[in-house]
């Protein structure tokens, strides 16, 4: 444990590589908003510390032997007063899953001090909002943005801007009006975490955002398609009836094609 208890936030660093763990702890200690910094060398040790201490935030490596970061995050989600989660990893492939769990941020190794400071500032803002009764809004807002950190370049994709999603081998491709974004993630998992936002399965390899559909059309090449500004999305026979029912309901409530207007 390092730091001074006179400062604001009590945090836990979970990282199996000793040098990285020590570096993160040192960087955090240098940030004025940080108080005590605890460290765990494994997911199992992290769970022990979480059971014995009240943390404001956990800086969590994803790839660890035994209990990995996602496993620990699921344990955290069951706590009565869960700390904020910041994932730290060598790959951006878990970005959507991380935010689906409710992570505040997602940092790529090697972690830059300014990005770490940004994460701490975000955690502080969420904690202050929680003290004022606004904590419920924080994690849900995080689910609405996918942050993809490519070293020195960070791309933010708003879920509301995604018109449809296409399976692409071991990846998925997010289609927006501005272009596409390729991520290593399963279509089924994305379907699960984005279903409440109106994304529905219309084909074995496609999800579509109901708000972006302006009509259905039968084409000679693809059969039935759902038309969005970003392109036509094939609709399989299996999913056609369910899609039509949802579009009818959206039309009744005035939501059909709303995002495209």
The reply to whether 9-151 and 161-260 are identical in fold is no
Distance CA 17, CA 19 (A): 6
139: pLDDT confidence band, cut at 50, 70 and 90?
very low
Q: Is the peptide bond before 110 cis (omega within 30 degrees of 0)?
A: yes
CATH of domain 161-260: 2.40.50.1020
Alpha helices in the chain (DSSP H): 18-29, 43-52, 69-77, 95-101, 113-131, 137-142, 187-194, 237-252
Domain ranges of the chain: 9-151, 161-260
pLDDT digits (tens, 9 = 90+) for 145-163: 776 655 666 677 888 999 9
pLDDT digits (tens, 9 = 90+) for 33-65: 999 999 999 999 999 999 889 999 999 999 999
Two tokens at 99? 């935010």
Give the rounded percent of residues in the chain with a pLDDT score beyond 90: 46
| pLDDT given at position 104 | 85
Threshold 0.85, pTM exceeds: no
CA distances from 225 to 6, 177, 217 (A): 60, 18, 5
What number of other Cβ atoms are within 10 A of residue 14's Cβ? 30
Q: Which CATH class is domain 9-151?
A: alpha beta
**Which residue has better confidence, 140 or 146?**
146
pLDDT digits (tens, 9 = 90+) for 68-93: 998 999 889 888 889 999 999 887 66
Is the per-residue pLDDT at 207 higher than 90? yes
């Amino acid at each position: 444990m390092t730091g001074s208890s006179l400062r604001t936030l009590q945090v836990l660093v979970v990282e199996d590589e000793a040098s990285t763990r020590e570096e993160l702890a040192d960087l955090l200690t240098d940030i004025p908003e940080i108080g005590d910094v605890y460290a765990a060398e494994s997911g199992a040790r992290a769970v022990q510390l979480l059971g014995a201490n009240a943390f404001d935030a956990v800086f969590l490596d994803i790839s660890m032997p035994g209990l990995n970061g996602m496993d620990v995050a699921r344990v955290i989600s069951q706590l009565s007063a869960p700390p904020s989660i910041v994932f730290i990893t060598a790959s951006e492939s878990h970005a959507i899953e991380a935010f689906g769990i409710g992570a505040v941020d997602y940092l790529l190794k090697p972690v830059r001090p300014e990005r770490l400071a940004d994460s701490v500032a975000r955690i502080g803002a969420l904690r202050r909002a929680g003290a004022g009764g606004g904590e419920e809004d924080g994690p849900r807002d995080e689910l609405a943005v996918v942050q993809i950190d490519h070293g020195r370049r960070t791309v933010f994709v708003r879920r509301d801007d995604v018109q449809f999603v296409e399976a692409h081998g071991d990846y998925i491709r997010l289609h927006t009006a501005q272009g596409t974004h390729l991520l290593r993630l399963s279509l089924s998992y994305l379907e699960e975490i984005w279903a409440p936002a109106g994304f529905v399965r219309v084909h074995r390899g496609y999800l579509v955002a109901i708000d972006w559909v302006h009509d259905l059309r039968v084409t000679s090449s693809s059969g039935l398609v759902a038309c969005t500004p970003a392109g036509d999305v094939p609709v399989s026979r299996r999913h056609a009836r369910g899609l039509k029912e949802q579009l009818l309901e959206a039309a009744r409530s005035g939501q059909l094609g709303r995002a495209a207007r």
